Amino acid sequence: MAPEEIKHLLEQAFEGADVAAEGDGSHFKVRVVADVFANERPVKKQQMVYAVLNEHIQSGAIHALSIQTYTPAEWDKAQKLQVG
């Protein structure tokens, strides 16, 4: 599976999301910034991402997955902290 495929699946699932995906083979890292994560616990956010990709995880196309989830406000704050 290619990172672009994962990015496309997540963009379809989370309308208006800013998605980044990288990796090779079956090990991937994704970052999803979406309004839908507002007021959700970190575990729930990850479960939402896993739900989209579960079929590919079960098939073995995705073996390892690192997930970062943010609301737009959380992402903005994280970006500012990295710069400063």
- Give residue-wise pLDDT tens across range 14-70: 999 999 999 988 899 999 999 999 999 999 999 999 999 999 999 999 999 999 999
Q: Could you tell me which residue, 33 or 79, shows the higher pLDDT?
A: 33
The alpha-carbon radius of gyration of the chain (Å, integer) is: 13
In angstroms, the CA 51 to CA 53 distance is: 6
In angstroms, the CA 18 to CA 14 distance is: 9
Domains in the chain, please, with CATH? Answer: 3-83 (3.30.300.90)
**What pLDDT sits at residue 45?**
97
Closest CA to 50 of 33, 34, 67: 67
